[in-house]
Amino acid sequence: MLEILIAFSILALSLGILLKIFSAGVNTAGVAEEYTAAVQIAEALMAKTGVETPLQQGQSDGLEHDKYQWRVSISPFQFAAENLDVSELPVVLFKVKVTVSWGDDNPRADDRQVELITLKLANKV
């Protein structure tokens, strides 16, 4: 009888540990899905910048899927090299930064964020 009681307690402990591991895996999969969606939104916004929206200095904000807040910031890119004269070039280089953030309903949880940065060329007007 004592052996059966010990076996059941070991089984209960093992099942508890397995369920905790399984729930952690499900939570991780949910977070990975959110990051994937945020990266797709950021890549889409990055691709539209300069094609559908003009490539000029400024920023724009928005909300996607009632969950993901995004911001696109466009600023002129400054070269660090002092001996480089870019004023004669027929193009202007812009730094495009796309930030997508989202948070859980939990007020103690930190907001998650994805940030993409690239350089894009535009013709001088």
Residue pLDDT, tens place only, 59-104 = 999 999 899 999 999 999 877 766 666 677 788 889 999 999 998 6
CB contact burial 55-66 (16+ within 10 A = b; e otherwise): eeeeeeeeebee
Residue 123 binned pLDDT confidence (cut-offs 50, 70, 90): confident
- Rounded to the nearest integer, the mean pLDDT of the chain is 88
The domain locations on the chain are 2-123
Give start and end residues of each alpha helix (H) in 1-125.
2-48
**pTM to 2 decimal places:** 0.75
